[in-house]
Chains A and B, each alone.
Chain A
Amino acid sequence: MRTQVEKVIREVGKAVAGKREVIGKIVTAMLAEGHILLDDAPGVGKTTLATALSRAVGLTFRRIQFTPDVLPSDITGFSMIDRAGGDFVYRPGMLHQANLVLGDEINRAASKTQSALLEAMEERQMTVDGRTYPLERPFTVIATQNSVGTAGTQVLPYAQMDRFLVRLSIGYPDYEAQMTMLRDRQGADPMESVACVLDREELTAMQEEVRAVEMKEEILDYITRLTMASRAEEELAIGISPRGALFISRTAKARAYAEGRDYVTGADVQAVFGDVCTHRVLLKEGAGERTAEQVLDGLLKKTETPDHRSRFPGIMKK
């Protein structure tokens, strides 16, 4: 594991106990310049995690609590008449100069607000009244979605879920973790102890390095075969799109980088495949008992690994 990544994970881990793996995945997604969708029950520490992350990396953190009343202009900003000058003045919105944005309960926002955010995520810029404002770099959105209590909500359409690089869930802590958490919270706020171990420029530089990670033909072939297999899969109505394949390769690169390598292996692809793809596939109605995760896992088992495929000619297969 690369030391900088390791440090960040350790610092965030101070505030969120026992969630090393998820933290690692989120950092990986950030390295891949992607956005994260957290699908979880309330109160498992999504906000805490995001805050701790922004502290550890030294990012400007903004939080939007979405309700049906939040308007697109709250996010992008708007122009208003300046009385004194008699001119329109731009009033920046939430995304202005933000590096890490936590969009809480995005499914409760009105669809126009959702699309304003998603557009900003995709383009990494905002356009208000014909003027374009580029967003800060790095720019990462962590959006959360409540899987319970969907009454009065605007569920993210399938096409918009596609914009998020990964969908993760934090999940409840186990016994040990919860005990630690309870113990820590008795005294001072553990958030105070989270130190800044990485600055913004360093993160940007790391993102650049991620782009330079080596990816051999074998891995590209593996990704292609996996996505093709998903499209041919019986139980899936919609398989993984070409954009999905692109995202797999990006995330795999970031993971390889986080692991301290400058080349991608089959293990990287396998590790990120589920997170990147579960929200990109659509199960057929009444197709079977399996969830999307299980179907994708089955695909990984079925598809020949690049290790096997690269077998030296002359060595017999069994």
Chain B
Amino acid sequence: MRKHWIGYAVWLILAGCLYFFENNTGTRVILLCSLLVPLFPSLRSACFGREAQGNGIMPPRTAGTFIRGEAFGNGTALPRTTRTIIQGKEDGTGDIRPYRPGDPVRRIHWKLSAKKGELLIRETQAAEETAQEEYRETRIAEEAAAEELRETQTAEKTAEGKRVRFRRILIRGLIIVILLCSALLLLVPEARKGCMALGNRLFTASETVNAYAYDRFPVPEGQGEVFAVTLLTIAAIAVAALAVTLRSRALILGLITLLTLGQIYFGLCLPAWILIPGYTLAGVLLMRHPTAGSLKRLAVLVLGVTVCCAILFPGVDAATESASETVRDRLSQMAQQLIGIPAETPEGETETRHTHTQTLFTGAREVSAGREYRLVTVGEEQISRPKWIDYVRIILLLLLAVGVVTLPFVPFLLLNARKKKAAEVRKAFLSADVSMAVRAIFQQVIAWLEATGSGGGNRLYREWTGELPEGLPEGYAERFSACAADFEEALYSSHELPEEKREQALDLLRETEKALWEKAGRKLRFRLKYRMCLCE
């Protein structure tokens, strides 16, 4: 048991070193998570609890008891019912056996039962045997689980159990009280400021150590970052491989220590999105018997802490910082020129940083009693982040830009959509289903008539003959009404129309198009072509 705590201490020291040498969100999260792990019962038991059977991987609960039962072999440790079942199977008592609760009633051997005066079960077919076996196994598992539950319940009733339960309740209560207190604290402005100050104090301290470390142990010249990263990557892969094959936790811890020290030595400032998952994975590898529950708990913990750190600590890593800074300045200049929003930076970038530093670190300034905050002088590294209004501006400007770029294409897009629809209709003209084709063609004729402002409105199409426009060829009305009849047949009946009906309808459409197009003025032609998409 003590060994595990030593391992944990080593891990904590590593996390602390990492934090003091590389102060960023990643290291912060790792340190905090490592500190918080023993507070969660499930994580604690996963990390420092008793070692389970089966090579570190916790077998499923019920199956575990079953295996254990078999391992004991003599059967004394097993509950009575389980023992009888197993023995029954081993003995192979054959066709008749005594009734046990849960056996199907239809299997009871009534005659024999009457004779013997106790219920007997008939076991006949092999298929039934296997089914029985499966059933029996699940029953064993169930009973074992029930047994275990009963055991824990009885254990809780004893004095020992009482103590365990009391401790559990105490810890939970403590956690709740701490959480409540901290929530209350955050409501009071002074306390909030204090928290901030504390955070900043830590931050300053780590920065000091950091600077000291950099002074004392300068990053070796000549060894490029590429080299370091390659080296560390290879080492990390080796760790993973060893962890999988050897499962020796001490070795893994040693290798992680080496990796961390290497990282510190090379002065590699790895970003949080590599650090956090990497070290979480390492933590999981070091866990004694990770279960799904504890892994879930760990994930929640890490996520929560990450979010808290991202909110409470304003630090952003250098690359993102400078990039966002540049973008923001550019955009604010643009905005100023475009819309006339007053400039965010009257003179230069340093000014902005200074003001932001001040607003963000008032608490620190109060605590450090007028001492000029170190980071302002460090300047080139950290601090300062854009205000929310800047993000809004950026989004608005982006939207504006997207709008301006796409606007000229909108009519074309719309036209394209209409053309696609029209093309689909034209495709229907030639469809194998003549009724479908006749419907589409005739409705196209109707669309032409409607587009040119004639037609009977909300009337049945067959009655439109009275409303046809002037200038249509001879006998058009008759052909129209014939086609209307075909249309009705196509629409309202399940008859198959002959092929020539399609031809007739197409002729009518061509005639309509020709007559109406010739008659149409320029405006109407434009409408027909581009708004209605009736012509190709």
Contact = CB atoms under 8 A, between A and B. Distances in A.
Contacts, number: 75
Interface string A206-222: 00000000101011000
A304 B488 contact: no
Judged by DSSP, the binding face of B is helix
B421 A308 contact: no
B516 to A, nearest CB: 14
A267 interface: yes
Given A312-B425, A318-B450, A301 B458 contact: yes
A136 interface: no
Contacts of B492: 214, 216, 218-219, 263-266, 306
Contact of A265 (B444, B488, B495, B533): B488
Contacts of A218: 491-492
Given A312-B425, A312-B428, A318-B451, A214 B458 contact: no
Chain A at the B interface: SS class: loop
B459 A311 contact: no
A227 interface: no
Contacts of A312: 425, 428, 439-440, 443
Which of under 10, 10 to 19, 20 to 34, or 35 or more describes the interface residues of A?
20 to 34
Interface string B505-536: 00000000000000000000000000111000
A253 to B, nearest CB: 12
B494 interface: yes
B469 to A, nearest CB: 14
Interface string A4-32: 00000000000000000000000000000
Interface string A258-271: 00011111110010
A57 B76 CA distance: 101
Contacts of B460: 265-267, 270, 305, 307
Given A305-B459, A308-B458, A314 B493 contact: no
A262 B493 contact: yes
Interface in B413-460: 418, 421-422, 424-425, 428, 439-440, 443-444, 446-447, 450-451, 458-460
A188 interface: no
B247 to A, nearest CB: 64
B447 A315 contact: yes
A315 B443 contact: yes
Nearest to B459: A305
B461 interface: yes
A218 B451 CA distance: 25
Nearest to A266: B460
Given A216-B491, A219-B492, A307-B491, A315 B459 contact: no
Nearest to A216: B492
B489 interface: yes
Contacts of A266: 460, 488, 492
A310 interface: yes
Contacts of B446: 315
B458 A304 contact: yes
A267 B425 contact: no
A316 interface: yes
B462 interface: yes
- The interface centre, meaning the residue of B439, B491, B532 with most chain A CB atoms within 10 A of its CB, is B491
A218 B491 CA distance: 9
A246 B451 CA distance: 37
B136 to A, nearest CB: 58
Contacts of A301: 458
A313 B462 CA distance: 21
A131 B495 CA distance: 47
A91 B488 CA distance: 53
B118 to A, nearest CB: 67
A307 B462 CA distance: 9
Given A270-B460, A308-B458, A312-B440, A263 B495 contact: yes
Interface string B476-508: 000000000001110111110000000000000
Nearest to A304: B458
A113 B61 CA distance: 86
Which of A270, A304, A312 gathers the greatest number of chain B CB atoms within 10 Å?
A312
A263 B439 contact: no
Contact of B491 (A304, A310, A316): A310
A315 B451 CA distance: 11
Contacts of A317: 450
A303 B440 CA distance: 22
B421 A314 contact: yes
Interface in B260-306: none
Contacts of A267: 460, 462-463, 488
B395 to A, nearest CB: 37
Interface centre among A303, A307, A311 (most CB of B within 10 A): A307
B462 A311 contact: no
A128 to B, nearest CB: 45
A176 B480 CA distance: 33
Nearest to B463: A267
A316 B443 contact: no
B489 A263 contact: yes
Contacts of A315: 425, 440, 443-444, 446-447
Nearest to A311: B443
Contacts of B533: 316
9 contacts: A261-B493, A266-B488, A266-B492, A267-B488, A307-B461, A311-B443, A316-B418, A316-B532, A318-B447
Interface of B: 418, 421-422, 424-425, 428, 439-440, 443-444, 446-447, 450-451, 458-463, 487-489, 491-495, 531-533
Pairs A-B, 9 closest by C-beta atoms? A263-B493, A314-B421, A318-B450, A314-B425, A265-B488, A263-B492, A307-B461, A315-B447, A312-B443
Given A263-B493, A315-B440, A315-B444, 9 more contacts: A218-B491, A218-B492, A265-B491, A307-B460, A307-B491, A310-B491, A315-B446, A316-B532, A316-B533
